[in-house]
Chain A
Amino acid sequence: MSMHYDEITEGDQVPEHTVTDVRGEHMQIVAAIIGDPNPIHFDLRQIKEMGHKGLVNQGGVTMSYATQALLKLVDSPAALKSMNARMLDNVYEGETVTVRGTVTEKAGEGIVHIDIQVETDDERVVLDGSGSVYLETG
């Protein structure tokens, strides 16, 4: 459901977006799509030798979850103006993550800036970022 610029106020929380049971097979598909040779996304034997507890989600995929929370506010992906993400920790297969966002600025002409965080179910903040979207006006 898209939102109108007049419906939103600085300080508002945007609707949460939760991804349950992040799947190792999806990490392997993403590695194949983009030609990512990093074994932490597909090689169970090697990640155990490296001390990880499971396959590690691609940072770009965790950022995708954050982006989806922003896109829930608009009718079309064309309304995404910008997105920035700092990866703070790993997301492992089997974990559940929740995206939370706060409106930090209504910048005029429908542009809204939103701070975004992605947190695991054991309360690790794995991504800290921000994004901007064009909301409907008039």
Chain B
Amino acid sequence: MSTNPADLEGRELPSGRVTIPRWKAFLWADATRAEDDTFRYEEEAKAVGGESQFVPPTLCIHLLNEASGTVEEALEGLNINWEAGIYLGELSFAFHQPVYVGETYSVEGRIQSVEHKHGSEGEFDVVLFAYDVVDEDDEPVLESIKNIILME
């Protein structure tokens, strides 16, 4: 039985702990054409005052998903139609401290709202996710908001 998208509002996502390994930061830097080697090598990061190899800021989207479940898990109950199209609509990060390779972070997330809309491309739902990330000392690391567009 399929869930009504509006019924997802307020759903708490699975909370979890996640560590980004060196190879993911390195390959993300390569695949996003980042020139900054602080995302690849610990010594380069330490040379600019970092504690260890930096996680590229936008790779934090993976940190969120890895800890709190995939899109399919988050939207469990919906009939996700990949062929109709699923797109990232908006993404924001507010950082309290840098994110490092090898450190473990705890993530809590929730579905804040679901809006049904009609546009030139047809009917779609906009699902807004909100996340809070803390470090091992429970100190805030980042907050993030993202919305996903589910075409019908």
B95 near A82 with CB under 8 A, answer yes
**Are A87 and B70 in touch, CB under 8 angstroms?**
no
Provided the pairs A35-B65, A61-B58 are in contact, do residues A86 and B89 lie with their beta carbons within 8 angstroms?
yes
Interface hits, A30-83 → B, CB 8 Å: 30, 33-35, 37-40, 46, 49-50, 58-61, 63-65, 67-68, 71, 75-78, 80-83
Q: What does DSSP make chain A's interface, helix, strand, loop or mixed?
A: helix
Candidates A34, A37, A82, A87; contact of B90 at CB < 8 Å: A87
A-B contact count (CB 8 A): 121
Q: Is the CB of B31 within 8 A of A29?
A: yes
Interface residues on B, range: 35 or more
Smallest beta-carbon distance A131→chain B, Å: 9
Number of interface residues of A (CB under 8 A): 37
Q: Is B123 an interface residue (CB 8 A)?
A: no
What chain B residues lie within 8 Å of A33 (beta carbons)?
A: 24, 27-28, 31, 59, 62
B residues neighboring A (CB under 8 Å): 24, 27-28, 30-36, 38-39, 45, 48-50, 54, 56-59, 61-62, 65-66, 70-72, 82-83, 85-95, 97-98
